[in-house]
Chains A and B, each alone.
Chain A
């Protein structure tokens, strides 16, 4: 009965989404205030029902209800509880339901709490949001019903892909989805503002928290995904330019650009058309990302779904939404009046440079990701675009971008002087030059990109705190702290990347128990090979002790796991984290002479990559809290002023 209840809730939510769209369309077109007033409760009800439907699906997974096809195909009764829970969205249908649930919740949130926008803009936004949801409801109900029953009821399920059986999976996909959906809200706002002819600071301020929120989630999602690939795949790399990774990077790049341009619009009423355009692009990238991952068009380490029907459906949705928005943009761009002007040397100027560079990087990643697919579709010739292309094309632009990131916040709005900027930035520049000098002197064999990256990162880390210089720290707004921390996080991550690519040391041996392996200051002793067993896997485990620079001995145990349900092997790397880096040990195969392949990496400061990512997200969170608090206070003041008058 639970499955049927879930399906009914989903149908009802879909009906309400249609009602929400109709109310908005009619209300705005014919200026019917009663219709406009009704849209808020409908949006809230839709959010509640779709959430209920998703909760029921979670419940089915937790109970391992083997009469439901989705549970059978993606879960097993012996699986640990966490993975039963995460299994809900570790598959196509469940993840689509999660997507539409988050969208419904976002709509309910806007309906409940957004009070500062013009009524017409708000109603159009909610209608646009409902319109997007309708497509996903149709997708779920027509071609991917998550509640479908299975008959005869099998004894047990088929389990979850072992590569995905990891705590990282429990949070990685939903985090990205929150980000994608947040961008869909920004998109709806942009459509609303275009239709209501209301592109201005008020719209930007209403949209900003959603962009910030989406960006925080995307940042966290990418950071977590990178770390997951790093320790789960056992290759020691942290970014592979895999199309699925690019699918999450592209929305992030667009969201980062949008985040900065929306600030210009909110603060200075500039870059109006550009900001609207970016909102459309950012959501397009989310849709393209979903399409790439969900359609199975890519066969890569992440893409597990292979089903052309689904791909065509998402492609059709993508064409309708993006095509519609682009057409609307073309029709309405004339009515978006030019925003406030500024001098080239100004905060706005730096933000424009930021936007152009981010767009250029986005374009490069986009071309590199889609080019092989397009060529294959047209000529049937197979090619692949790999890391050499991406590193070569994006690296230099990224470094320029980081340099501008350090200088931009030190510029005044509207107009500034290049000489005063040079004065303010001289100290970090000096530090960069000093770092570069020391690196050239002390190291050998670093690539030019890493060398420049590391030197620049050190200077930028210092420069990112410059906006706080000589300011009253207690009166500095929270979002300024957010910016400082986020920019500092970028520098920290850059240090980690450059250090990992330049200073990693590696040893690869075939060892028998009793052998010692030395890498950098680490001494590893291979003690024994032992079989071990987990809840649904068995493994061979290498017992080892590791000692850094004559310090305390620590036990580590890399494994080779065999999953019973899926007949698949995975290798579980063993990691030892120290403040100055990470030791990474992988166990390979044994041979006839009783030797075992063991691969060891010492990666100095590699963890800074992900700490940097977390700092960036933390900075975003501070900015979000600061902005929301300020909006709340202003709303209160407005209410108070109205009362007094």
Chain B
């Protein structure tokens, strides 16, 4: 390499690395940018079975059902218009109750059930997951007397 051009070469290399990183990021983002889904999104643009997605919405009133094994819970997440069946095996967060917001990471199975690997419920009275802000969940929410575990 001609020593004279070293600075230029370094600048070009740095630029290439940045562009490369940008492309890599864009490529990965394209795959994952629509990572967050509401039940309506799932109806509108159904993600492939097995693709890792994040589902958010409200736990429908009266939908939580515990399996006999004591560690599996079935419930329905709704966003006011659409509903999505969810199955989760694990310890539910402390504030996971009917009528409250929930964000679940997991994937859809072939038969359309969402299998959650992690659940994040709002963990204090003021907390709403960022993705759930502004979504109208009032559809069938009952506000009184249900916050008893």
Residues of A within 8 A of B (CB): 161, 163, 234-235, 271, 274, 298-301, 306, 338, 341-344, 352, 356-357, 359-361, 363-364, 367-368, 371, 375, 382-386, 388-389, 392-393, 397, 508-510, 560, 566-571, 586, 588-589, 591, 593, 595, 597, 599
Contacts and interface: CB of A to CB of B under 8 A. Distances in A.
A113 to B, nearest CB: 34
A386 B32 contact: yes
A385 B21 CA distance: 16
A593 B13 CA distance: 65
A311 to B, nearest CB: 14
A300, A342, A384, A510 interface centre (most CB from chain B within 10 Å):
A384
A203 B104 CA distance: 50
Given A300-B130, A388-B52, A363 B124 contact: no
Contact of A299 (B35, B54, B66, B128): B128
Interface string B25-48: 101110111111000000000000
Q: Which of B7, B21, B133 has the most CB of A within 10 A?
A: B21
Given A341-B3, A341-B6, A569-B94, A367 B25 contact: yes
Contact of B29 (A300, A363, A368, A569): A368
Nearest to A510: B70
Interface of B: 1, 3, 6-7, 10, 13-14, 17-18, 20-22, 24-25, 27-29, 31-36, 52, 54, 66, 69-71, 89-92, 94-95, 105, 118, 120, 123-131, 133, 149
Contact of B54 (A271, A386, A508, A567): A386
Nearest to A235: B118
Contact of B71 (A383, A389, A509, A571): A509
Across the A-B interface, the 7 shortest Cβ-Cβ residue pairs: A510-B70, A588-B91, A360-B21, A569-B94, A356-B17, A299-B130, A363-B21
Nearest to A365: B25
A309 B22 CA distance: 32
B1 A364 contact: no
B25 A382 contact: no
Given A299-B130, A352-B10, A361-B21, 12 more contacts: A161-B124, A271-B10, A338-B7, A360-B24, A367-B29, A383-B35, A386-B32, A386-B35, A388-B52, A509-B71, A571-B91, A589-B92
Contact of B1 (A161, A344, A386): A344
Contact of A363 (B25, B31, B126): B25
A357 B16 CA distance: 11
A359 B18 contact: yes
A357 B7 contact: no
A299 B127 contact: yes
A310 to B, nearest CB: 16
A341 B28 CA distance: 36
A591 B65 CA distance: 12
Nearest to B22: A363
B37 to A, nearest CB: 9
B92 A389 contact: no
B25 A368 contact: yes
Nearest to B131: A382
14 contacts: A161-B124, A300-B130, A338-B6, A338-B7, A360-B17, A360-B20, A368-B29, A371-B33, A382-B130, A384-B131, A386-B32, A386-B52, A569-B95, A597-B91
Contacts of B54: 384, 386
Contacts of A509: 70-71
Given A359-B18, A382-B36, A389-B35, A599 B24 contact: no
B98 to A, nearest CB: 14
Given A341-B3, A591-B70, A568 B25 contact: no
Given A352-B10, A389-B32, A359 B17 contact: yes
A397 B25 CA distance: 12
Nearest to A163: B123
Contact of A357 (B17, B34, B124): B17
A177 B105 CA distance: 32
B29 A385 contact: yes
